[in-house]
Amino acid sequence: AQTVTQSQPEMSVQEAETVTLSCTYDTSENNYYLFWYKQPPSRQMILVIRQEAYKQQNATENRFSVNFQKAAKSFSLKISDSQLGDTAMYFCAFTQRDFQGAQKLVFGQGTRLTINP
């Protein structure tokens, strides 16, 4: 069974600072996808960034980037130039890559990130 662990329940930084959220996962699969989702107080889960395990290059989306270490099964999220709107719960998630169809998402426990003015 796959598991996802986020070891930082809460983090807090000042606006414009850089913050890194940690995530580790456990799987025996070789082909899979990893995601970071953001859940603001409005509750809507929003995809921040995705990483395909078979790609060595780390994914980047504007101010968001990941550090994907496949051998270490580590998938951290870096937020640069943090903004007040980045305040939210962040969830790391894993899904198996399956050509037969979609698979379930396995989520970590979440990290509550607060950006202070």
Partner 1 sequence: DAGVTQSPTHLIKTRGQQVTLRCSPKSGHDTVSWYQQALGQGPQFIFQYYEEEERQRGNFPDRFSGHQFPNYSSELNVNALLLGDSALYLCASNLFRGTYNEQFFGPGTRLTVL
Does 59 bind partner 1 (CB under 8 A)? Our answer is no
> Could you give the angle at the alpha carbon of 66 between the alpha carbons of 86 and 97, nearest 5°?
110
| CB of residue 16 to partner 1, shortest distance in Å | 28
The set of residues, in sequence order, having a beta carbon less than 8 Å from that of 74 and lying 6+ positions away, is 22, 23, 24, 67, 68
- Between 101 and 117, whose beta carbon lies closer to partner 1? 101
Classify the phi-psi angles of 81: left when phi > 0, otherwise alpha if psi is within -120 to 50, otherwise beta. left
Does 22 bind partner 1 (CB under 8 A)? Our answer is no
Of 16, 47, 60, 61, the one binding partner 1 by CB under 8 A: 47
Q: Print burial letters for 68-79: b (CB count within 10 Å at least 16), e (below 16).
A: beeeebebbbbb
Does 29 bind partner 1 (CB under 8 A)? Our answer is no
Amino acid at 48: V
Of 7, 15, 16, 46, the one binding partner 1 by CB under 8 A: 46
| CB of residue 42 to partner 1, shortest distance in Å | 7
CA diameter of the chain: 47
Does 50 bind partner 1 (CB under 8 A)? Our answer is yes
Where along the sequence are the contacts to partner 1 (CB under 8 A)?
4, 6, 33, 35, 37, 42-47, 50, 52, 91, 93, 95-99, 101-110
